Chain A
Amino acid sequence: NAGVMQNPRHLVRRRGQEARLRCSPMKGHSHVYWYRQLPEEGLKFMVYLQKENIIDESGMPKERFSAEFPKEGPSILRIQQVVRGDSAAYFCASSDERTGSKPQHFGDGTRLSIL
């Protein structure tokens, strides 16, 4: 039973390019969360999606960032026109129901570096 899979593990982009981060949740999980983590800092909530719907995107910048979780396929976090400040580790987590009494299962993240 595979865990949460994120790819790529490392992504290097030049300023102005687009970054696409993928997350395949655990089998049977329909809830996906994206977090951002800077070195020596905690996880910052970005967005919560439930199959085909964005439930809460209050932690995601309104410009350049978007997320989707289609009926088929992985969840995608997309960053357009990347800037140096976007360099961070991006983690995806999934759960089989709305979090709270259930734990979240995390992937090992995508480390995004902007040149």
Chain B
Amino acid sequence: SQKIEQNSEALNIQEGKTATLTCNYTNYSPAYLQWYRQDPGRGPVFLLLIRENEKEKRKERLKVTFDTTLKQSLFHITASQPADSATYLCAPVNTGGFKTIFGAGTRLFVKA
């Protein structure tokens, strides 16, 4: 069955450092992979989408990589800030798919 794995333990880092979050998937051939941010008590907010033919995508301090051979996506936040503290969800989507399956998310804490 399709499975998505994200770091189950919370990630604690110091302000200014780079946070790296991992998303591994199995039994998937996603055409796209989306990353969302979710704050407590709120709905997820879309951050970035990367296509299968793209190796890397950047948006301001965010960078996403997509390795279809390793079946893995990495999400980086450079120069992290306490305001980046949240849960980050990855969601691979198959070609023609509409049933987006989300990973359980990784909780990130950035300490000032």
Q: Which residues of A contact B (CB under 8 A)?
A: 4, 31, 33, 35, 41-43, 45, 48, 55-56, 58-59, 91, 93, 98-101, 103-109
Contact = CB atoms under 8 A, between A and B. Distances in A.
25 contacts: A33-B100, A42-B4, A42-B89, A42-B105, A43-B89, A43-B102, A45-B99, A45-B101, A48-B99, A58-B99, A59-B99, A91-B44, A98-B98, A99-B97, A100-B32, A100-B93, A101-B31, A101-B32, A101-B51, A103-B46, A103-B49, A104-B100, A105-B46, A109-B42, A109-B43
Interface residues on B, range: 20 to 34
Closest 7 CB pairs of A and B: A106-B43, A103-B46, A42-B104, A43-B102, A100-B93, A98-B98, A42-B102
A108 B105 contact: no
A101 B49 contact: yes
A48 B94 CA distance: 15
Nearest to A44: B102
Interface of B: 4, 31-32, 34, 41-46, 49, 51, 89, 93-105
A105 B98 CA distance: 14
A100 B44 contact: no
Contact of A104 (B46, B95, B101, B104): B46
A48 to B, nearest CB: 6
B100 A108 contact: no
A4 B51 CA distance: 26
Given A41-B104, A56-B98, A107 B32 contact: no
A55 B46 contact: no
